[in-house]
Structure 1
Amino acid sequence: MSSFVRPAATGQAQTAAVLAPDHFTPVSTHLAIAPLVSVVIPAMNEAENLPHVFATLPSWIHEVVLVDGNSTDDTVRVARELRPDVRIVAQTGKGKGDALIAGFTACTGEIIVMVDADGSADGSEIVSYVSALVAGADFAKGSRFANGGGTDDMTPIRKLGNRVLCAAVNAKFGARYTDLCYGYNAFWRHCLDKITLDCTGFEVETLMNIRVVTAGLKVQEIPSHEYVRIHGASNLRAVRDGLRVLKVILKEKNERRAARREGAR
Structure 2
Amino acid sequence: MIPTLNEADNLRWLMPRLTAVDEIVIVDGQSTDGTVEVALAIRPDAKIIVEPPAGKGAAMRTGMAAATCDLIIMLDADGSMDPAEFDSFLALLCRGFDFVKGTRYGCGGGSDDLTGLRSLGNRMLTRLANLLYGQHWSDLCYGYVAMRRDAVRRLCLRSTGFEIETEMCVNAVRAGLRIAEVPSHETERRYGQSNLNTFRDGWRVLKTMVRLRFAGPLEQPEPDVAPADPLPALTSAE
1:77-128 per-position Cα deviation (integer Å, ceiling 9, x unaligned) = 0000010101101124500010001101111100110000001000110111
Give me the whole-angstrom Cα distance separating, in 1, the residues matched to 2:105 and 2:149: 26
1:204-250 C-alpha deviation (Å, 9 max, x unpaired): 11000001012111111110000000100011111111111001011
2:86 matched residue in structure 1: 126
Letter in 2 for 1:169: A
Residues in 1 aligned to 2:181 and 2:68: alpha-carbon distance in whole angstroms: 24
1:102 aligns with 62
Residue 239 of structure 1 corresponds to 199
User: Would you say the 8 A contact 1:212–1:219 is kept in 2?
Assistant: yes
Equivalent residue in structure 2 for 1:90, among 50, 53, 70: 50
The equivalent position to 1:78 in structure 2, one of 17, 22, 38, is 38
Task: State the AA in 2 paired with 1:80.
Answer: L
Q: Secondary structure of 2:141's match?
A: coil
Match of 1:111 among 71, 89, 92: 71
2: CA distance, partners of 1:72 / 1:203: 25
Determine the structure 2 residue equivalent to 1:44: 5
Question: How far is 1:256 from its partner?
Answer: 3.0
- In structure 1, how many angstroms separate the alpha carbons of the residues matched to 2:173 and 2:51? 28
**Over aligned residue pairs, what C-alpha RMSD do you find?**
1.5
Unaligned runs of 5+ in 1: 1-39, 260-265
Bigger Cα Rg? 2
Q: How does 1:90-239 map to 2 (within 5 A)?
A: 90-92=50-52, 94-239=54-199
Give the TM-score normalised by structure 1.
0.80
Identity, in percent, stands at 45
**8 A Cα contact 2:55 2:161, kept in partner:** yes
Conserved 8 A contact 1:91-1:102: no
**Unpaired stretches in structure 2, ≥5 consecutive residues:** 220-238
Q: Distance in 2 between matches of 1:151 and 1:159?
A: 10
Give me the TM-score of the superposition, normalised by structure 2.
Answer: 0.89
What residue number does 2:234 align with? none
